[in-house]
Amino acid sequence: MKFFKKILKNPFKKKTNTSKNPTIIFEKPKQKFGLKQRKMLKNIAKRTFLKNAPINWIGALTNISKWIWFSIFMALFLASAYFTFFTEIFYIKKILIFEGPTESNNLSIRKIVEPLRNRNLFLFSSEDLKNTINQRVDNLSNLQIQRKIPNTLIVKFENFKNVANITNIIGKLEVKKSFIINQNGLLIAEDKISTILPTISIKNEKAYNIGDQILKVEELKYILDAKRQFEEKFKIKINEIKYIPKAKEIRFVTEKGYEVWLDIKVTYTEQLMKLKNSIPKIDLYNGSLEYVDLRIQSAEGQKIIYK
């Protein structure tokens, strides 16, 4: 009875290892595998995992769509390249030349651009064409080259403005040549005089020719701006401007018969203000003057020599 009571009391109770109830434990010896066997087992496990792994349909579709879009892009790229470079769709059929907003038939420019007709609209350099035109054609300003798809080449330009007459007085014999100068300082026409432009006379040993740049842009601007301000400030007209290159000075020949001398290395505003402050001591309107020299600089800045 005692034996059955013990069993019924806890039939699943493990026997403990005691001196009264010793338990013999057998350990299974660990199996050692070589490098080759470990690799083989690893590959078997990997194949088993991939075989049983769920399929990633979203990732697969994403990869497929990427290839589809790439194929479409490449097809469009190749098609556009073919039509652009290997067909006559973009061959130049029209060449338009504009001077400002008005269409022009400038023969010098047309002679340069006409060889581009029936060539591909995209297979030439705009910069090279602009440089060629500027080198061969004078007096151009704001030159632009434009392409109008599918087959039109457009050239736009403006001419530098004519700003003054130039009288070139040459050597001891004082031979005179007449030119017109543009705002870029270039002589553009010979033996022509404009009645609406001021006249600048320059005496030197060398004769000028068309295309010579005889004045820097800033020098020419100084001369013309000083003339305009003198006439506005004193209400006296200037008939002629004498320019002396070596001395860097200008001499205004006024309608009253006297000259006003300025140094172009000093601002004309400062020199004309000095003259303004000298009135009425110096009578510019009724006096018998020969010249008024504003070039002299002093500590007070008001020194004037006149006769």
Residues 258-264, mean pLDDT to the nearest whole number? 95
The Cα 136–Cα 138 span in angstroms is 7
Instruction: Pick 14 or 34 by higher pLDDT.
Output: 34
Spell out the domains of the chain, with CATH numbers in brackets.
94-159 (3.10.20.310), 160-213 (no CATH), 216-307 (3.40.50.11690)
Answer whether 31's CB lies under 8 Å from 37's CB.
no
Q: Which helix (H) or strand (E) holds 62?
A: helix 57-85
**Beta strands 305-306 and 291-293, pairing class:** antiparallel
Instruction: Pick 83 or 142 by higher pLDDT.
Output: 142
The Cα 290–Cα 305 span in angstroms is 11
Residue 124 backbone phi and psi in degrees, to 5: -150, 160
Q: pLDDT tier at 76 (50, 70, 90 boundaries)?
A: confident
Residues 247-256, mean pLDDT to the nearest whole number? 94
Coil, strand, or helix at residue 140?
strand
Please indicate, yes or no, whether the overall pTM of this predicted structure exceeds 0.75.
Answer: no
Q: In whole angstroms, how far apart are CA 299 and each of 95, 148, 181, 296, 303?
A: 63, 63, 38, 10, 9
User: Mean pLDDT across the chain, nearest whole number?
Assistant: 82
Q: In whole angstroms, how far apart are CA 267 and each of 124, 221, 274?
A: 47, 12, 11
Residues 252-281, mean pLDDT to the nearest whole number? 93
Residue 167: CB atoms within 10 A of its CB come to 17
Residues 184-207, mean pLDDT to the nearest whole number? 91
Each residue's pLDDT tens digit, 233-244: 999 999 999 999
Residues 117-138, mean pLDDT to the nearest whole number? 90
